[in-house]
Structure 1
Amino acid sequence: MNKKIDVKMLVLDMDGTLLNKEHTISEKNKKYIQLAKERGVKVVLVSGRDVPALKNFSKILNLNEYIGAMNGAIVYDVKNEEIIGETYLRKEHVDKLFEISNNNNELLTLFKDNIIYASDKPNPFLEILNRFVKKPIISSENLSIYLKENNIYESLHKAAFIDEYENLKKLYDKIYNELKDELSLSFSLPFIMEIFRNDSNKMTAVQKIAELYNIDRENILAMGDGENDISMLEFAGHSVSPANCMPSVVKYVDEICTTNDRDAVAEIIKKYILV
């Protein structure tokens, strides 16, 4: 027998959860999201992706209310086309990340809106990221100077180091030991270690949106597959990860379902909402 959950808000991560390996939403997932909407459930997209990308997915799904972008750094009202919450990395954090990048010869990428900034040294993982997100990447030989000269340095939403997982794991330990009280670190993909403010994550975005809807956390069902989803998975009344999730996420969720390529979202909507 299915656990009885009064779901009023369904929170969905995008990559690895709602999106399949082709980075598209299946027809079955689309159909079941519409059925959830017809039951009065608020469907909320919360992702590391930027506002334009999430607005596009919202349009595909006929969703017209709130989204959480850039790992929660931006809460956006789609209907009224306005930002209702936004946080940036502090200058001292960006300074420190550049120092770490230089000392460890690791590629630092920085994100503002729908633009990615990176140094111009060759990196195969940056090419993969470019194909993955299909967003502009601006490169500069001296990135910190470029960002300062163009008044971008203090308006960055998040950062990421990009490399092989084993190298990033070593770097994670160095950064965590020094900055754990101020910054959150998580792997959205094995080659991407994202960095954002402790007080600005997917949980804070979900919490803000739930308050706007006047929905209690016990009535929230959240789905996600990556470490950057853990904060919102722990916050939700019930949490689910698809079977393709990162192994480190499993202990934080109530349930594992099928994979994103087998319509995990549709399966969970059928199980807990269409009952």
Structure 2
Amino acid sequence: MGAFYDEIPESLIPWIKEQKVFWVASAPLSAAGTVNVSPKGYDCFTIDSPTAVWYVDMTGSGNETISHMREPGNGRLTILFNAFEGPPRILRLYGHATIHPRDTPQFNALLPPDDPRRLPGARAVVWMEVERVGTSCGYSVPFFEFVGERPRLKDHFTPFEHLPSPSPSLSSFPLTPTPKLQSYWALKNSESVDGLPGLEAAGYPPNEGAIRKARKGVSVAYGAEAVRERERKGWSEHRVGVAVVLGLVVGWCAGQGGHEWVREEVSALVRQVARAVGSPVA
């Protein structure tokens, strides 16, 4: 049976720590934005308290979670665990998260140089304030046997940290990201698929030659392209405002009678409103 809590029950903490994979889900504030779900592996999840958790965010071609957490007024995050062996269970952590980029005091405090979770390619810590916890049955989730971790991501980014490969100590890379790693971020982590800014260190807007992720053939929800799209459709705020004002005035004037007087008054008002909003009508 499902149950809800205001914090992580102590009885569930050992079970959470045993899980080998979890998922994070987020979305931009715009209703036209894209909902994202990302799987996470490795020993990267930490329960700081019954109401606070964090995980190590590894470098990859995607950066949707970071974009959504950085969006002003957003930060909404859901983390999901489920049982693949033993009794069935699904657990969700609901809350708001903050991004602590690599080479910041918060990142280095949570992941000091000798921490084994400080893996090659680590680009941020995602800190989440847990506001709600929910459990459900998970009766339809199949059984899976854990065989082992995939080392490929760590192996891939080891050279980016200027480490010998394979490295016997994955926590020995420098605190400051190398130029090679920063170049990768600038190439692939600058924006989200909805055009939101991505990893702060990647820069925004994207540099020339960066991989552009904003979807083709649909309205981009944010930025200059969104403004241009609204202008093409004739729905800029200025035009809407002028239409509303003129509609009210015409209705009032028509009620006063006298077509010539109405025409003169409306023309004068059109010029005043156009000057106020900077429209070329003026």
TM bracket, shorter-chain basis:
under 0.3
Q: Please say which structure displays the higher CA radius of gyration.
A: 2
Specify which structure has the higher proportion of helix: 1
Which of the pair has the greater relative contact order for Cα pairs under 8 Å at 6+ separation? 1
TM-score by length of 1: 0.25
